[in-house]
A and B are shown apart, each in its own frame.
Chain A
């Protein structure tokens, strides 16, 4: 995509290599502009924008409970976001993190409830992790293999598999895995205690956060220090060159999709074992889709994903406060969240592309 005609006499072209500093500054400026824009809307609605922002920040970070809950919310976004980022690095558009998350949760739950229900914690938790990686990985393998072997668009296949995974989970919790003691209500029995992830003090922050941080560091090392990580980038940027250089493209496509799905699967396991302690309806309020925003805003950088997942968690947890303590309409919080994301992505576009005048036209 060298140029796109937009206005007569102008064209949009890609900026060769935006500097890191410029990128960071633009992001900061975008955030500021979003807050100003959101503030105008709030003022028009008769609210004091400063009070609103202060309330949001206090809700998310104002006390231990707020910080803890923000970290709880960060965890699945981080793991699934890292998964998406891995695939996007190779320009594999894995939209299926939501389904991969569910598969991970299903495999982990099945392991804890039916495979080794009486195992001690030091066997149980690792087994659930492996199961989740396999489950999520399998759900990444299918679109990966279809893409590598038949050239099927992974965007479509991974998206479609989300519905399959969610409906499969619904089937299990309404049907064969339903807790017989629950008066017919959907949901599996509670997992054995050994399957519960350790929590930090009295908060709900659980080991899943550590999984996410370890995954981020591992991916960073992989991208920076290993040949394979380097190849992924090359294959994404220029498949033909990679082919000529003898890189095994098809195998890498499949492996990357498996890795991507496995990370999302781990997010599912960590929600089940860390928070809900059962497989139930509504396990994820769309973490797999928000993960796409996490990956993109993080520019596919593992440490960026940590920051962005945390930022989105702040927006969600802080957003609760607007109705709970200020009595604002429930629509205000998502409106502000949407505004901030819109400006950040817009700023991102402006750093990567520029409008230039074309001589000799008009």
Chain B
């Protein structure tokens, strides 16, 4: 008993000691004068590792472009921040407290934590990617990735022989659902016979699971695989089976040289540089940015060299129409659009509104798969 008491007392003493040291530190920090001429500090909160060659990698390219473009901008980042409220808010708050001027949170799960921290740091600016809540110092940003997805669907429709295309998809949320719809509409534009089969993985980042899902689709007869996932797993599955693959986020041709056709990709730097320029000019406002191919934030990776010349020509012409603005997101989601049951959801001559597209929760005709509800 006596010994146990001793251990407890010791533990408490150690704790108290640590506290005392920490309070001493606070006092010391308060005494240091603020540095003048401080550079603009931009912090990034990432959901995956920067080496994923996927979503986080694409954002990190944007971060590097920022550093290259603005000599007086420094950047910091934290990788693989869990999307649970306890961890995400802690990391964001820490960046704010450490004096970041702009904090960019790059996954949907960071929405509420970003809003919460922003309330306590009114002088810090925040950009949340893919969400819908804003505040005077919180902007949101996303891109019309459906535009290159649609064109990649047109390519898939031309390349498939079995008329079955496999889609490895993360979560049944509007962002993913509208991507599947845009892709399928592209497929059916060039190949009305083809169907797109969807498998949900319930993860953004899991190389093994994504690969296994692609393999299941290939076993079921698909000969082109595409993905709304953050790793090259599905592309490698296509490579091993001699099928074709359309990736996401990055040019994955090195990882699947014989399979990889192209991929819808992001150029986040375009938007990040604009946002930082606005802050430096003093013109930054909380906006809900939703840029398209014409703005340069989304794009299609270079087409594989082995794509037949006539198909390449057709796809490149279509790319040009989106880049010029002749076609856009709303062209894709124009009537007539039927749902899976064949019912007309958008009549001929009508176009879905931005809000309808952003909240889409039904599959177009040609998609095989269910949206859990």
B7: which of A21, A174, A282, A323 is its contact (CB, 8 Å)?
A21
Give, as a whole number of angstroms, the nearest-CB distance from B175 to chain A: 9
Given contacts A19-B3, A185-B173, A320-B94, contact A64 B86 (CB under 8 A): no
Instruction: Report the interface size class on chain A.
Output: 35 or more
User: Are A324 and B91 in contact (CB-based, < 8 A)?
Assistant: yes
User: Are B82 and A175 in contact (CB-based, < 8 A)?
Assistant: no
User: Are A282 and B89 in contact (CB-based, < 8 A)?
Assistant: no
Can you name the residue of chain B whose Cβ is closest to the Cβ of A310?
Answer: B15
- Whether B174 is near chain A, meaning CB under 8 Å from some CB there, is yes
User: Are A185 and B3 in contact (CB-based, < 8 A)?
Assistant: no
- Whether B93 is near chain A, meaning CB under 8 Å from some CB there, is yes
Chain A residues, Cβ within 8 Å of B7: 20-21, 24
Interface residues of A in 301-356 (CB under 8 A from B): 303, 307, 310, 316-317, 320-321, 323-325, 327, 330
- Whether B97 is near chain A, meaning CB under 8 Å from some CB there, is yes
Given contacts A61-B19, A66-B22, A183-B359, contact A285 B82 (CB under 8 A): yes
Interface residues of A in 260-314 (CB under 8 A from B): 271, 275-276, 278, 280-285, 303, 307, 310
User: Are A330 and B76 in contact (CB-based, < 8 A)?
Assistant: no
Interface residues of B in 1-48 (CB under 8 A from A): 3-4, 6-8, 10-11, 15, 18-19, 21-22, 25-26, 29, 43
Given contacts A20-B4, A63-B25, contact A186 B90 (CB under 8 A): no
- Whether A171 is near chain B, meaning CB under 8 Å from some CB there, is yes
Q: How far is the CA of A330 from the CA of B172 in the complex (A)?
A: 29
Given contacts A19-B3, A58-B25, A183-B132, contact A67 B90 (CB under 8 A): no
Give, as a whole number of angstroms, the nearest-CB distance from B91 to chain A: 6
User: Are B22 and A69 in contact (CB-based, < 8 A)?
Assistant: no
- Whether B123 is near chain A, meaning CB under 8 Å from some CB there, is no
Q: How far is the CA of A59 from the CA of B22 in the complex (A)?
A: 10
Chain B residues, Cβ within 8 Å of A275: 85-86, 89
User: Are A317 and B86 in contact (CB-based, < 8 A)?
Assistant: no
What is the interface size of chain B, counting residues whose CB is below 8 A from a CB of the partner? Answer: 53
Interface residues of B in 44-66 (CB under 8 A from A): 49
Chain A residues, Cβ within 8 Å of B22: 58, 61-63, 66-67
Chain A residues, Cβ within 8 Å of B160: none
User: Are B26 and A64 in contact (CB-based, < 8 A)?
Assistant: yes
User: Are A184 and B359 in contact (CB-based, < 8 A)?
Assistant: yes
A21: which of B3, B83, B171, B202 is its contact (CB, 8 Å)?
B3
Give, as a whole number of angstroms, the nearest-CB distance from B256 to chain A: 26
Can you name the residue of chain B whose Cβ is closest to the Cβ of A284?
Answer: B84
- Whether B78 is near chain A, meaning CB under 8 Å from some CB there, is yes
User: Are A325 and B76 in contact (CB-based, < 8 A)?
Assistant: yes
Secondary structure at chain A's binding surface: helix, strand, loop or mixed? helix
Q: Which of A271, A278, A330 has the most CB of B within 10 A?
A: A330
Given contacts A174-B372, A184-B173, A285-B84, contact A63 B26 (CB under 8 A): yes
User: Are A324 and B359 in contact (CB-based, < 8 A)?
Assistant: no
- Whether B87 is near chain A, meaning CB under 8 Å from some CB there, is yes
User: Are B109 and A72 in contact (CB-based, < 8 A)?
Assistant: no
Given contacts A58-B25, A69-B90, A174-B172, contact A20 B85 (CB under 8 A): no
Q: How far is the CA of A276 from the CA of B116 in the complex (A)?
A: 10
User: Are B85 and A67 in contact (CB-based, < 8 A)?
Assistant: no
Q: How far is the CA of A152 from the CA of B37 in the complex (A)?
A: 68
User: Are A61 and B21 in contact (CB-based, < 8 A)?
Assistant: yes
- Whether B286 is near chain A, meaning CB under 8 Å from some CB there, is no
Chain B residues, Cβ within 8 Å of A63: 22, 25-26, 29
B6: which of A21, A65, A186, A325 is its contact (CB, 8 Å)?
A21
User: Are B98 and A325 in contact (CB-based, < 8 A)?
Assistant: yes
Q: How far is the CA of A58 from the CA of B23 in the complex (A)?
A: 10
Can you name the residue of chain A whose Cβ is closest to the Cβ of B120?
Answer: A202
Given contacts A324-B95, A330-B80, contact A186 B174 (CB under 8 A): no
Chain B residues, Cβ within 8 Å of A325: 76, 98
Contact with B along A53-85 (1 / 0, CB 8 A): 000011101111111010011001000000000
Give, as a whole number of angstroms, the nearest-CB distance from A61 to chain B: 4
Contact with A along B319-358 (1 / 0, CB 8 A): 0000000000000000000000000000000000000001
Given contacts A20-B3, A276-B85, contact A324 B94 (CB under 8 A): yes
User: Are A282 and B84 in contact (CB-based, < 8 A)?
Assistant: yes
Give, as a whole number of angstroms, the nearest-CB distance from B7 to chain A: 5
A65: which of B10, B86, B97, B173 is its contact (CB, 8 Å)?
B97
- Whether A231 is near chain B, meaning CB under 8 Å from some CB there, is no
Given contacts A19-B3, A171-B372, contact A24 B84 (CB under 8 A): no
Chain A residues, Cβ within 8 Å of B26: 62-64
Smallest CB-CB A-B distances: 5 pairs: A276-B85, A330-B79, A184-B174, A61-B22, A285-B82
Can you list 22 A-B pairs with a CB-CB distance of less than 8 A? A20-B4, A21-B7, A62-B22, A63-B29, A65-B93, A65-B94, A183-B359, A184-B359, A186-B171, A276-B84, A278-B112, A281-B83, A282-B84, A307-B11, A317-B90, A320-B90, A320-B91, A324-B76, A324-B95, A325-B98, A327-B76, A330-B79
A21-B6, A21-B7 given. 14 additional CB < 8 A pairs? A20-B7, A61-B19, A62-B25, A69-B94, A73-B86, A174-B172, A184-B177, A276-B85, A276-B86, A281-B83, A285-B87, A324-B76, A324-B94, A330-B80
Which B residues fall within an 8 A CB radius of A?
3-4, 6-8, 10-11, 15, 18-19, 21-22, 25-26, 29, 43, 49, 76-80, 82-87, 89-91, 93-95, 97-98, 108-109, 112, 120, 132, 171-174, 177, 202, 358-361, 372-373
